[in-house]
Amino acid sequence: METTYKQIIKGLTYLFIFLLTGFVLSCNHDSTQIKNHTKKTKDPANIKVFGEMKAELTSPPFVPAPVGNRPAKRLYMEMEIIEQEAEMADGVSYVYWTFGGTVPGSFIRTRVGDVVDFKIKNHPDNKLPHNIDLHAVTGQGGGAEASFVAPGQEKTFSFKVINPGLYVYHCATAPVGMHVANGMYGLILVEPEGGLPPVDKEFYVMQGDFYTEGKFGEAGLQAFNQQKAIDERPDYVVFNGSVNALSGENALQAKAGENIRIFFGNGGPNLASSFHVIGEIFDKVYVDGGDQVNSNVGTTLVPAGGAAILEFVADVPSNLVLVDHSIFRAFNKGALGILAVSGEENHNIFAGEIEEGIYNPGSSLAKETPKDSKELAFPSEMNKGDRIEAGKKLYMQACFACHQASGEGIPNAFPPLANADYLNADENRAIDVLLHGLSGEIEVNGKKYNSMMPAQNLSDEEVANVLTYVYNNWGNKGTEITPEMVKKRRQ
């Protein structure tokens, strides 16, 4: 009996040793696989190149076709540097220094393991030497030293892309800041093996800050201001090189239900971007254009010289507004664009306005509270001068933020009231705008605006006073608006 018991114990011991040995061997095998996989991922210099092809380069906001599942290849690409005058805003021009004739420069799309033969050409009409520093390149200056070209010169240099991600490229010729500030930046995408997951639409957007002699909106050809650049005081902060690059006829287009991918970069040279799409949420943000993915993000921070890949579904039809959420840059310096989404409404997601009413607390507390000394009071009988004075107080409380204290408005966002043909042409229309609001495109003094003004909760007396103030300032025609005129329009 004792012998049998010892045999059982001995047998169980052998079984345990056998199972333990198998487990250890299995772990070693898995560890070997992990190490081999890591080595494969971290040493793409060993990826073999199969064949060659001419790379497709595209101007913003477009991107080349996805890499997909193709093998690593030798890519041939050419990029021309062009110094040229172009529109910064309505009536404002600027001499940009460009890669490929656009700001940002042409979009470059590769995959990990590709070998790139890059020819850079400096147009003979240019005034200055230039080069290119690609953040995706491992090598001296990101290729800057090997690509230095004088006007009328071209060079070809070669590199292998070994890190997947989205990277900025820019000119690195001294003074570097000035070359970047004049528009010399773009994006290069290095897709992983197998490519990025497919989506319905892809767009290329870059932010940049510009420093001009004149203030924002000042007409004419504007020169670069070095001191403003050093002080980091830009007059313009824009997407894709100009105020109107992504609005009006240039608005991005998509359909409801489509998967959208934005390759977003920040050329700088100075400011970080708080990038936000008003009316949508990023389902995925590839932070810094790398491997880390954040989900359900409203606003993402992109540093100067950095990039991010942003993905979301355009759930409902609307005009999605692209902004730098350092918000004065959007409405006062130009960092604003439109992604126009068309299609059928989806009331399960957004039902829009479902009820309207008048809000009047009418509480005893409100009735008993002494009136604020700053509350506007109107004489029972007001002459034109009284209306102008009372209207000025109202204007400075409710109107000046959009239309400015001088009535000049905000270029490309809110129309001017000063010497405004739209205003002076029709007094009844002006009253209607305050009573009922205004949306859609209008033309003021030869320029088109497509913003929205909500209805103002003002009495007949208040509407009369503020419009009388506006009509009697800034070169307008001097009309007096009366409460009786407003009452007729309200009825």
pLDDT in tens, 270-291: 999 999 999 999 999 999 999 9
All CATH 2.60.40.420 domain ranges in the chain, comma separated: 52-342
Look at residue 280 in the predicted model and tell me its pLDDT. 97
Q: Check if the beta carbon of residue 213 is closer than 8 Å to that of residue 207.
A: no
Look at residue 405 in the predicted model and tell me its pLDDT. 78
3-state secondary structure of 37: helix
Which pairs count as long-range contacts for 463-466, CB under 8 Å and 24+ apart, including other chains? 463/431, 463/434, 463/435, 464/387, 464/391, 465/378, 465/382, 465/387, 465/388, 465/390, 465/391, 465/394, 466/391, 466/394, 466/395, 466/398, 466/399, 466/434
Q: Which two tokens stand for residue 78?
A: 């050419």
Kindly state the average pLDDT of the residues 194-203.
97
Q: Which of 323, 289, 280 is nearest to 309 (CA)?
A: 289
pTM score of the predicted model: 0.75
3-state secondary structure of 9: helix
- Confidence check: pLDDT of 39 > 50: no
**% of the chain beyond a pLDDT of 70:** 87
More confident residue, 397 or 23: 397
pLDDT tens-digit readout, 442-482? 999 988 887 778 788 889 999 999 999 999 999 999 999 99
Domain 373-490 is found in CATH 1.10.760.10: yes
All CATH 1.10.760.10 domain ranges in the chain, comma separated: 373-490
Query: Rounded to 5 degrees, what are φ and ψ at 488?
Result: -65, -45
Kindly state the average pLDDT of the residues 179-200.
97
Kindly state the average pLDDT of the residues 378-392.
83
Q: Which two tokens stand for residue 370?
A: 């002494």
Lowest mean pLDDT among 26-30, 198-202, 326-330, 428-432: 26-30
3-state secondary structure of 344: coil
- Confidence check: pLDDT of 410 > 80: no
Look at residue 23 in the predicted model and tell me its pLDDT. 45
Q: Which of 153, 169, 173 is nearest to 161 (CA)?
A: 169
- Confidence check: pLDDT of 40 > 70: no
- Confidence check: pLDDT of 373 > 60: no
Tell me the CATH number of domain 52-342, given options 2.30.33.40, 3.40.47.10, 2.60.40.420, 3.90.1720.10: 2.60.40.420
pLDDT tens-digit readout, 238-262? 999 999 899 888 999 999 999 999 9
